Amino acid sequence: MGLLIGGVGGNLTDRIIRDPGVLRGHVIDWLMLPNWPVFNVADMCIIGAAIVIILQSLRGVTLRGERISDNTDESNA
């Protein structure tokens, strides 16, 4: 969640304080690799958060950090 909030906050800050005006500003993308779109650190954080969320959901871990068990209630068996 920290990566996601940090990335969104970074891009939102650019949108608020950059020209041409409040909430109309441009996000500054400054990392350029060959044969790859231009991006910034905030974009990396957002993508990293998405990857972690997907991996954790595949492992069966909730946002609270609890693991979802496939076992039914064994006390009723």
What is the set of active-site residues?
Answer: 29, 43
SS3 of residue 15 by DSSP: helix
- The answer to whether 68 touches 62, Cβ cutoff 8 Å, is yes
Q: What share of the chain is helix, strand, coil (3-state, %, to 5)?
A: 50, 5, 45
DSSP 30: -
